[in-house]
Amino acid sequence: MIEISGLTKSYGSTVVLDGIDLTVGDAQIGAVVGPSGAGKSTLARTVNLLERPTSGSIVVNGQDLASLRGADLRAARREIGTVFQSANLLRRLTAAENVALPLRHHGVPEHQVKRRVHALLDRVGMLHRARHYPSQLSGGQRQRVGIARGLALGPSVLLSDEATSGLDPETTLSITTLLRELRDDLGVTILVITHEMDVVRGLADHVARLDHGRIIEQGPVDQVVRRSDSELSRALLPLPPAVPAPAGHRTWTLRYDAATVSPFWVAEVSRDLGSDLAVLSALVEEAGRTGVGRVTVAVDGRVDAGSVERALVSRGLVPEQRPDAEAPVRAVGEAVA
């Protein structure tokens, strides 16, 4: 478990992190997202104790790591392993030597180093590449070695700092799957810093949005995606562009919980209204541990808008955007401009 409270970081008079409160529970995966310049890298460097916070605490297993100095701080760094963007492996060392590096640095006896490196490379599926140099590995393989190195000292928290950026979608999926397995097998708490929303959707239990050094919004992913008035929710479930509505139709953008709403709701609402719904854009995704849908539908403008709304709501759909009451509704059959 990691509990970050009131964390601030300033460089001179520039406040980069401004009172961050964030908790990720045991064996949970928390994600921090945010635009460029929000403070994500600074948060990563502060959490893994490469930089000292200006104020606030970082508590891991009941100990405030931010308050430590000297030998205590060096020992505490073992509690937080980091996986960096592009793995950040040393070019002149083999995969095995890269994983051994933190162990040797902490004075682990050589026979134990060999055993541990073997077990770690095996766990991340890289034993067959132990003697390869980083330049002989693919991006995904380098990242697996980076994860093994991050886990070398048996940390309670694994910090993933943009670990999947630059990887293709398939490799990203294999890395996020590995992280989830490691969380389940080792019970390690994972804090993911990323700008990739599909990584958050597929991996995280908890998500926080950082902007201008502050956490603007946070919560469990499966709750955040149900919020209809949330920027984070819309970013997590971006609707593809809608095709134009048929002439004479009004459009609604809706959100729904796939676990509780009938999968046949389009047909059911159409039946309730005696008029067929047209689907203009749709996204149904697993997010957190739930399925969520966002969809834009069009309904014949001759059907009373209040009746449409009641029919949608009674089937569990949540209107996010309603048709503009003032907008003219073209006659059915009239060409779309």
Q: CA angle, corner 235, sides to 230 and 237, nearest 5?
A: 95
Instruction: Write the DSSP symbol of residue 39.
Output: S
CB-wise, 14 or 135, nearer to ligand ATP?
14
Report residue 330: phi and psi, to 5°.
-70, 155
Residue 37 touching ligand ATP (CB under 6 A): yes
User: Per residue, what are the HEC states of 60-125?
Assistant: ECCEEHHHCCHHHHHHHHHHEEEECCCCCCCCCCCHHHHHHHHHHHCCCCHHHHHHHHHHHHHHCC
Least distance in Å: CB of 115 to ligand ATP?
Answer: 37
Least distance in Å: CB of 234 to ligand ATP?
Answer: 20
Residue 264 touching ligand ATP (CB under 6 A): no
Q: Going residue by residue from 142 to 181, which x/- string records binding to ligand ATP, judged by CB under 6 A?
A: ----------------------------------------
List the one residue from 24, 28, 29, 40 that touches ligand ATP (CB under 6 A).
40
Report whether 297 contacts 279 (CB < 8 A): yes
Least distance in Å: CB of 79 to ligand ATP?
Answer: 22
List the one residue from 13, 14, 135, 260 that touches ligand ATP (CB under 6 A).
14
Please give the Cα distance from 227 to 218 (Å, whole number): 11
List the one residue from 36, 91, 229, 324 that touches ligand ATP (CB under 6 A).
36
Query: For residue 267, what are its two tokens?
Result: 């047909």
Q: CA angle, corner 48, sides to 184 and 102, nearest 5?
A: 80
CB-wise, 34 or 53, nearer to ligand ATP?
34
Residue 42 touching ligand ATP (CB under 6 A): yes
Stated as kind and residue range, the H or E segment containing 51 is none
Residue 11 touching ligand ATP (CB under 6 A): yes
Stated as kind and residue range, the H or E segment containing 35 is none
Burial environment of residue 161 by CB neighbours within 10 A (0 to 12, 13 to 18, 19 or more): buried
Q: Which of 332, 177, 315 is CA-nearest to residue 254?
A: 315
List the one residue from 34, 53, 56, 291 that touches ligand ATP (CB under 6 A).
34
Residue 16 touching ligand ATP (CB under 6 A): yes
CB-wise, 55 or 112, nearer to ligand ATP?
55
C-alpha torsion angle, residues 179, 181, 186, 189 (rounded to 10): 40
Site for ligand ATP in 193-212 (CB under 6 A): 195
> Candidates 35-43, 125-133, 267-275, 288-296 — which segment interacts with ligand ATP by CB under 6 A?
35-43
List the one residue from 30, 39, 155, 202 that touches ligand ATP (CB under 6 A).
39
Count residues contacting ligand ATP (CB under 6 A)? 12
The residue ranges that bind ligand ATP (CB under 6 A) are: 11, 14, 16, 34, 36-42, 195
